[in-house]
Structure 1
């Protein structure tokens, strides 16, 4: 169990609800990338190895149920989202990249304001609902059931990607059914589903810095 919530049992949704609401409210007060990066890193480090194993297993399972050949094409990007961003965040934090004098360089890209503070605050406002949302459980093993704190891990990593790194929620190259992928141009990122999930209020797509790919309107 992560430090700072050792009193919360796996079945204590009220306790997790209060914990997640507090995290989201405090995170929304961050104004600069370095401040946000260090905040997220501190929270991510609280996840135990057991938590990470469960989250990783859940991610793998969600890929396993995809049909081939899409499954094989999508899997590397799913792993990049989970393992790549997690380790990148910890690496930057370990290098003190989020410190005020990070890397001893006045040009440190993290010593800047969050690019779109309004969108960031809207993102923080939906974290609690997104984490507590129950989309129904199937008959999978109880150990792999999604817990609110595991959903929070997902939102924290995406906050790091979208508001600290200014990258899209889905990594560049991520394929989608139909053959289109997330791409990067000199001006921006393009995503084939950026504007396709507007009715799902807690979807990360609504806050992604990528633009809708005009080829898939």
Structure 2
């Protein structure tokens, strides 16, 4: 678990810039070795992805998670607005449960999970963007899209109650054309 997230006072309203400072301090603890191990995990998990879009999958996940760490570290954090604390509290609860389940099964993926957790909170509550970046592929040749000021996901409805997914707190909406 990420100690700084656990120390957040979720009973009071906080500014996005305050949450970002917590995220940035956690990102600073991610070493190049953590990133190498996390990337190796993604490549290993990619072997379960259909061959015809495995390369797109790896590119989207590397860009959406691994490279976001550098973005966080380099960002000056001039964010405005307040954080939806109720939604953040629920997101942290879900991510903590996912982390506990993962660590019981296989602790080596904890390098990726820390990145996954930090980036998920950053994208959702600081950037107001979906967790999976625009262009992330899903089975059936569907992708996360941005249209008319809305982020659309092809799997949101099917995954929103999945305890292993972050769809429940992701800001993307279900793509009705899927």
TM-score, normalised by the number of residues in structure 2: 0.86
Aligned: 1:179 with 2:147? no
How many matched pairs?
175
> For 2:91, which of 112, 123, 137 is the aligned residue?
123
Aligned: 1:191 with 2:114? no
Superposed CA offset, 1:55-113 (max 9, x none) = 12111211233221121232221111123311111110xxxx32xxx4xxxxxxx1211
Aligned: 1:33 with 2:1? no
Q: Distance in 1 between matches of 2:2 and 2:93?
A: 9
Q: How far is the alpha carbon of 1:136 from its aligned partner?
A: 4.0
In structure 2, the CA distance between the partners of 1:27 and 1:215, relative to structure 1 (3 Å rule), is farther
> For 1:68, which of 39, 46, 51 is the aligned residue?
51
User: Rg: which structure is higher?
Assistant: 1
More strand by share: 2
In 2, are the aligned partners of 1:32 and 1:111 still within 8 Å (CA)? yes
Q: What stretches of structure 2 of length at least 5 have no aligned partner? A: none
In 2, are the aligned partners of 1:85 and 1:161 still within 8 Å (CA)? no
> For 2:82, which of 113, 118, 121 is the aligned residue?
113
Q: What stretches of structure 1 of length at least 5 have no aligned partner? A: 1-19, 103-109, 138-143
Q: Counterpart in 1 of 2:117?
A: 155
In 2, are the aligned partners of 1:182 and 1:189 still within 8 Å (CA)? yes
Aligned counterparts, 1:201-212, within 5 A: 201-212=163-174
Q: Distance in 1 between matches of 2:28 and 2:140?
A: 37
Q: Distance in 1 between matches of 2:67 and 2:91?
A: 22
More helix by share: 2
Q: Distance in 1 between matches of 2:9 and 2:100?
A: 18
In 1, are the aligned partners of 2:35 and 2:66 still within 8 Å (CA)? no
Q: Counterpart in 2 of 1:8?
A: none
TM-score, normalised by the number of residues in structure 1: 0.72
> For 1:78, which of 41, 61, 74 is the aligned residue?
61
In structure 2, the CA distance between the partners of 1:125 and 1:167, relative to structure 1 (3 Å rule), is same
- In angstroms, what is the RMSD of aligned CA positions? 2.2
